[in-house]
Every structure is written in C-alpha cells, then in structure tokens.
Amino acid sequence: MSRTSKYFTMTFVILAFALGIFASTYFRAGNEPQIPAEQAETKGIVNIYTARHYGVEQVFEAFTAETGIAVRFTTGSDAILRERIKAEGKFTPADVYLAVDAGNLWLAAEEGLLSPVESEVLTYNIPENMRDTENQWFGLTKRVRTILYHPDRVSPAELSTYEALADSKWQGRLAMRPATHAYTQSLVASMIAAHGEARTREVVQGWVANQPTLIDSDTRILETLAAGGADVAITNHYYLGRLLEANPAFPIRVFWANQNERGAHVNISGGGVTAHSPNRENAIRLLEWLASPQGQKLFADSNHEFPANPAVLPHPIIAEFGSFVADPINMGEFGRLQADAIKLLDEAGYR
Amino acid sequence: MKTITAKRTLIKHGQGLRSLPVLPLFLAILIVLPVLVVISALLTPTWEVWSHLAQTILPEMIKNTLLLLAGVGAGTLFLGVGLAWLVTTYRFPGRKILELLLLLPMAVPTYVQGFVYMATFDIAGPLQTFLRRYFTDLTWFPEIRSGGGAILVMTLVLYPYVYLLAKAAFREQSGSLIEAARVMGYGSSHIFFRIVLPLARPSIAAGVALAIMEALADFATVRFFNFPTLSDGVIRVWHGMMDLRAASELAGLLAFAALAIVLLEHALRGRTRYYQTGGKAPGIMPVALQGWRGWLITLSCLLVVAVAFLLPLTQLAAWTWNELPRLPEGTMSVYAQLIRNTLILSLSAAFFVTICALLLASSIRLNGSSIGFLLAKLATSGYAVPGAVIAVGVIVPLSAFDHALNNLLEAWLGVTPGLLLTGSIIGLIYAYVVRFMAVSFNSVDSSLEKITPNITSAAQILGAKPWRVAWKIHLPLVAPGMLAGAILVFVDVMKELPITVMLRPFGYDTLAVWVWQMAAESIWAGASLPALAIVLVGLLPIIFLTRVASRNN
C-alpha cells in the first residue's frame, strides 16, 4: 500500500466513524423531552425559549417541584429566538418566550409571535406600565440603569441626572456602554420619550464631546471605575450587586439618577405565551408562578434584580442601595423608539 | 487506427463528463441557496436605512473593514509564511516540538482570545494594575480596545491557517531544485523569494484568503474592541434597528466582498500552473544552525507560541481554578454531555463538508465549464458572511420546505408530521456545510490543482470512466488535502457560535454555546471552563494531523 492510499484509508475510516456516530445519535435522540412517563401523563411539560440564561435552572427546578410540570428550555439571543419562533410558525415547540429588554418583547408582540393572556394573577401582580397594553407580554424583573461613581473622586452632590453628564466637567471621566448594546439604546429611547429628539441629541452630543471610555461589558466598566480608568459610569445596578457579593469591599457606589424629575431608567426582563403554544395552560401557569411572591423572589434574586411585583422585597445586597423613584413610562415605548434611538446615536457620533 | 479509437473514446467520455455533474450541480445549488436568500435582499433595497448608514457610520465601517483585512492579511502572511519557512529550512533547538506548538493557537476561538486579551491588557487588567505601582502616568500604554488590538488578536489565532498550508506546500517542493540553486551560489533569501515562494503561491493564497474571510465574517471580536466593521453593521441593523431585511442587504454586500476575495485569490495564483511531476522527490533538506543563530530562531518561535497560545491557556486555567470550588454538583456529567454533543456536531460536519467539497471540486475540474467555476466560487462565499446571517438564510428555505410538506401531506393523507428539518441536526449540519465549504474546498482544490492534466488524460485515454478517474486516481492524490480540510472544519465547527445557537435542536447545548451564555453576561470566569474545554478538545485533531503529516515525511 502506498503512502497516499494509507492516507486515503485513514481519512475514510475516520469519516465513516463520524457518520456512524452521527446516524446513531440522530435517529436515537430525536427531539423528545426526557421526562418520567408518569409525570408527562398527568402534568405535562412547558417548553421555553429564553434569552435570559443566568441562574434560570434553579428557578425552573423550583417550579417543577411545586407544580409537577416539567420544564425544557433552550437559550439564544433575543433576536435569534424570535426568528426561530417565526420560522417554526404553527409547529413551534416554544410555549413561552422569555426576553431581556422590553424592546424585544414589544417587537415579538408586534410581529404576532405572542398571544394575549387574560389572567387576574398576572394583572394583579405586575404593575400596568410593566406589561403590554394587550397583555401579550409581562415584565417579571426590573433592572435599573443608573449612575455609578467612585466615592474617592466624586461626591454624590456633584451628580443629578443622565442629562447632566453631558456637562464638560465630566470631560475624560466617563465610562459608558457602546451604542450597539440594547441597554444604551433603551436609555436613549426613554430620553426621546421624555424630551423629544432635539433635546436628546444635544445630550448625546454632550456625552460624546466628553470622550467617554466605551466598554461593551457593564462588569468591566465597574472594574475600570475601581481601577481609576474613569470616575462616573452608567450601568445596570445588578452588576454592582454581583461584584459586591463576590467582594463586599468593592469601592463603587450607586447614585439613583433623575430623582427630582421623571425618575431612574428602569427596564425589564419578562415573557409572553407564544401564539401557537402547544401547552398553553402550562405556559400561563409558569408566567403566573413567576409573578407570584415565591417565583419573584427566586427569579429576581438569582440575578440581583428588583422584583416586578411590588409586594416582594428585593435581595438584601440591592436593598442597601436604597429606594428610588422609577421613570413611569410604559416599557413598550423602548421598542417603539429603539430604531430612532440608534439613528440618533449614529448621527451624534456615539459609537 | 489506434489514434482514431482513442479519439472516439475521448468523445464518448466527453459526453459522460457532461452528464457527471448532475449531482454536484444539485449540491452546489443547495449550498448556494442560503447565500442567495441573503443576497436577494439586495434586489429591493431599503433606501431609508442605506441613506442613514451612508450619512453616518457606513464610511467608517468600510474603512475599518479594509484596515482589518489589510492588517490581518499582512499579519497572517508574515507570521504564517515566515514561521513555515523557518521550521522547514532550518534545524534549530526544539524544532520538532515548536513545529507542532505553532499550530495550536488555531484551537483558541477568536472571541475567547479577544476577551482574554482585553482582560489582561485593559485599564483594569493585571498588567496595567502592576505598572501603576511604578508609574503614575500610564497614558502611553496602547489602548487594547482599538483596531490595532482587533488585528493583533485575529492575526494570532488565524496565522496557523497560512502556516499549515504554507508548510505543506514547502514540504511538497522538490529539494533538488533548491540544492541546484544553492550549488549555483544563490543566497537563501534569493531562493526563498524566487523559487520557494512562487511555487507555494496557490497554497499561501488559499490560506490568507481563509484568514481574511474569517476576519470579514467576525462580528463578536470587533465589537469587544469598539471597531465597527461591515459584519458588526449587519448585526447592528438587525438586532438594534430590528430590521432583518436591511441587515440581509448589508450581508449581501459582504458576500460580494467574499466573492471578490476568492476571485482575487484565484488571480493571484496567476495563469501559471504548477504541477508535481515525476515521483516524489526528496524534500528540502533543512540546514542546521549552530550557536546563537539557532537559539534566536527558537526564541522567536517560542515568543509567538507564548503570546498566541500560552497566554490565553494560562489565563483560562487560572480563571477555571478559581471557579472550580463554586461549580455546582453534577457539573462533570453536564460537561461530558456538552463535549459529546460538540464532538458529534464537529465530526459529522467535517465529514459532510469534506465529501461535498470533494464532489464539487473534482467535478468542476473535470467539467471545466465557466458556470461551474462561478458556482463553486459562489458556494465558498458563505465563509465571509456572518454566521448569524447564514443561519437566517438556512432557516428560511428549511422552514418553507417543512411547511409546504406539511400542507401537502395534510391535503393528501390528513397527517401533519410537524417540523422535520427546522431545528434538527440535519438543518444544523446543512448550515455548517454552507458556512465552512470554503475551508474544505480550498484545501481540496489546491491539492487537485497540482495534479497534472496528463494523469487525467492518460486515464481517460486508457478508457477509465470519470467516476473511476475520480475514485482511483484523484482521490488518493488529494487525500492529504482532504484530511487537512476536514480537520480545519472540525476545529472551526467546535468554535462556531451563532449558527449553533440559532439552529440546534431544542436544548442541545455545546461547549461554544456555554461560553456564549457566560460571556454574554460578561462572566468571563464562568466562560473559562467551557472555553478551556474547547481549546483542549480542539488540540486533539491538530496533534493528530501533525503526527500523520510527519509520519508521511
């Protein structure tokens, strides 16, 4: 046998092996959920497409333990999961779409991927501005995008609003998230809703003129503040919660923005029942449980977020940040104004 | 009389040749389809979005894209060819082991290298923190979140593509040619630039084209580095402006850019054809370098290995070490499952991509028509389109097929089998074939190119049927190229992210998906264990490849 034919044989053997594995697993695995037959008969399952994947396992396990309904979930980014639900159409396995950022929920409803849910439990537990006007989606946890500072270099008396960070005294002292991220886009969308485009443009241009350090990770922004790379930043509150849990001596402090006017910018993570949900009853059951005090506690605490249900107390670490006034805007507006916000950011030179 | 018979046979098989490409043609159309779905968006442009982009960020994105391509192209060319030349022509301390080590950065996903570099070199990273003890002013420290940082990181993970192909090309060269030049008194730089480099040109061009296309398609790393390119623009328009149509139009532009690169690469190969003639000549004899010269080469190779491979490996290992006590119970069985899923996907993708590439490349070579040529080039352009866009280009026709089938069956038989392809492993592998065809096709095709037409003609004149020519003669000759291509695809699929996230079966997680879940929340320490697993599992086929290659030597 010549060398080349040895090569060939070896390649062939490897590839045949690959095909074998592929064929056996494909035909064996299928797409069936692996749950006890007994449970499947009585309580059934609920399938979730979730863009929120930090600490969701324990929450779903608690739901199964309480209701007997098995949970299967698959993760993905918000936009990717929406495209998938759209392509699967009436055969979609997804019962529930869980997303972060209200804009994504708004768009899912806009594209007809969700269905209205009439549930007294949900309307009682979730404040009106945190759910869809037609009850197609419901907010479940609150994340506050606010101002953070290093107390050695900034006094809280110097801080007031997001808009005030456009002042030239913050030249070279800001750290912010790039325009590509939904967090920045929703914040700007809320400013457009409050002030209109012209005033918002001035503010964003002011931020840009201060040459902020742009970092595409809220955690890294906070670490940069701590290391002295910037003095003031805008991030979500729970990233500080996480860092404080790992290191209680972490030096960065929270300042609740815009407290003397519309309030701090609050966004949500939330979910809705899909339009072609095969297990609709269970899907509604899951959302109701997530909105209940027990589900809220687990779901919000797993990520140091504020529960959407006002009756539930926040995690002790973030409770220490103090109470705050939230911008009462309906969160669907973030979705409606998101494209405008991006155009404005592009035009103002915010990258 | 004899000549006439030969002519007849040729004509007869000429017809046979024309009938051969039915299957390959079908295959090519299937592979081109998702790219066409994406490009077709260009037919009805969304002017509003385009004029906004043109007035704001498009010029910057185009400039950045060109800079990135030029930088990564030059960087991978320099490192890949230079290192391949050093390990082929010189004998220096540790050459054997360095030859292997230099390939390993290939196993590091670009986004992982990206976040390791950022975490190490940015303001909050350990290096600057250390320096702050001795310097009060660190403004001279280069900003890692920049175009330079992106080019550096991509060059360090992509140069092995060029290194691998260049080394193979140098190995194939006849040592007698170089001996002759040496005897005639030519210096080594002269030999390198006038003989070795021109002979290796097709392989080097193929390698650089792969590296450039990979850089063109990347949207995760450039975003880490605040360096918006066209691919970043696609995702920006899609996820941000929530406009998939306009995003597809931008992606169509990328597909054309890829086509331009492929055609340029073809042009760079030149009209000259290089064939291996005669038997296998002894390869280039390495010259032993004594003393400091040898050690200098050792040191330069070590430096590359250190920054491109040891640095990320150490950082990931350190994060993992800190993370270990915090891992919940049952983590190991979860990882066993993740590794199994990852291996299944990578192996089957490598298999199918290689088979398709071989069918396509050989039939197009035998057929020689210009339409076939164009089709092949189009089929390889998926490599420069961001994976997320390919995923959409795949899911649209797949779900259309599924829904049409269900409607038909319901009308005829009253049954609905549900989704057969959408969200199945078949759909996922299909997307991998579309995305990574270029990797395998280029390696197979550059091997095929070196087969002299005389062999093919001889076989045909002797009456061999086209399939027999392909099976008995071409296949053994291109087997090394196939193997190299298959391993590149294997490693690429292991690292692949957006297609896997979008098209995998329900709940079917891989290592890369876990890296993404953690990195998306910027929990880099949590991403370190799956990332480390990708690197370590990716090393196996690479080591295997070099072992086989060196045995062949």
Q: Where would I find the H helices in A179-308?
A: 182-195, 197-209, 218-227, 237-246, 280-291, 293-301
- Tell me the per-residue pLDDT of A27-73, one tens digit each, with 9 for 90 and over: 444 444 444 444 444 579 999 999 998 788 899 999 999 999 999 99
ipTM of the complex: 0.85
Q: Where would I find the H helices in B40-146?
A: 47-55, 58-89, 95-101, 110-121, 126-132
> Does B302 fall in a domain?
no
What residues contact B229, with CB distance under 8 A and at least 6 apart?
B61, B64, B65, B68, B216, B218, B219, B222
> Does B300 fall in a domain?
no
Q: Is B330 left (phi over 0), alpha (psi -120 to 50) or beta?
A: left
- CA nearest B345 in A: which residue? A22
Residue B236: both structure tokens together: 């920006």
Give the domains, in start order, of chain A with CATH numbers.
Answer: 37-142+266-314 (3.40.190.10), 144-265+325-347 (3.40.190.10)
| Nearest-CB residue to B418 (from A91, A178, A218) | A91
> Does B359 fall in a domain?
yes
> Does B292 fall in a domain?
no
> Does B303 fall in a domain?
no
Instruction: State the residue range of the domain holding B130.
Output: 7-272+324-552
- Quick check: A181 pLDDT over 80? yes
Q: Do B398 and A93 touch (CB under 8 A)?
A: no
- Tell me the per-residue pLDDT of B283-296, one tens digit each, with 9 for 90 and over: 677 888 888 889 99
> Does B261 fall in a domain?
yes
| Nearest-CB residue to A89 (from B122, B241, B399) | B399
pLDDT at position B273 is 59
- Tell me the per-residue pLDDT of B463-493, one tens digit each, with 9 for 90 and over: 887 777 777 777 777 887 788 889 889 999 9
Count the Cβ atoms, other than its own, within 10 Å of residue A197.
Answer: 15
- For helices B370-379 and B22-39, what crossing angle results, to 10°? 50
| Measured distance CA(A103)–CA(A84) in Å, rounded | 18
pLDDT at position A28 is 42
Which residues sit opposite A214 in a β-bridge? A176
Residues of A with CB below 8 A from B145's CB? 214-215
Confidence of residue B7 (pLDDT cuts 50, 70, 90): very low
Residues of B with CB below 8 A from A91's CB? 402-403, 406, 416, 418-419, 422
Q: Do A31 and B506 touch (CB under 8 A)?
A: yes
Q: Do A8 and B55 touch (CB under 8 A)?
A: no
- Element holding A234 (H helix, E strand): strand A232-236
| Burial (CB count within 10 angstroms: exposed 0-12, middle 13-18, buried 19+), residue B303 | exposed
| Nearest-CB residue to A4 (from B423, B479, B506) | B479
pLDDT at position B9 is 40
Residues of A with CB below 8 A from B419's CB? 88, 91
Give yes or no for a contact between B234 and B390, defined as CB atoms under 8 angstroms apart. Answer: no
> Does B315 fall in a domain?
no
Q: Do B423 and A84 touch (CB under 8 A)?
A: yes
B90-108: average pLDDT = 92
pLDDT at position A204 is 98
What residues contact B50, with CB distance under 8 A and at least 6 apart?
B246, B249
Give yes or no for a contact between B385 and B258, defined as CB atoms under 8 angstroms apart. Answer: yes
User: In CATH, what number is assigned to the domain containing residue B165?
Assistant: 1.10.3720.10
B100-117: average pLDDT = 93
| Nearest-CB residue to B399 (from A76, A87, A107) | A87
- Tell me the per-residue pLDDT of B15-45, one tens digit each, with 9 for 90 and over: 444 444 577 778 888 888 988 888 787 888 8
Q: Detail the DSSP E strand segments found in B174-306.
A: 287-288
pLDDT at position A22 is 55
SS3 of B460-508: the string is HHCCCCHHHHHHHHHHHHHHHHHHHHHHHHHHHHHHCCHHHHHHCCCCC
Helices (H) and strands (E) in chain B — how many of each?
Answer: 26, 2
pTM over 0.90: no
Q: How far is CA B238 from CA A113, A187, B53, in A?
A: 17, 19, 13
Count of domains for chain B = 1
Confidence of residue A21 (pLDDT cuts 50, 70, 90): low
**Tokens 């006439």 identify what position?**
B4
pLDDT at position A33 is 43
> Does B187 fall in a domain?
yes
Q: Do A107 and B242 touch (CB under 8 A)?
A: yes
How far is the alpha carbon of B297 from chain A, nearest alpha carbon, in Å? 32
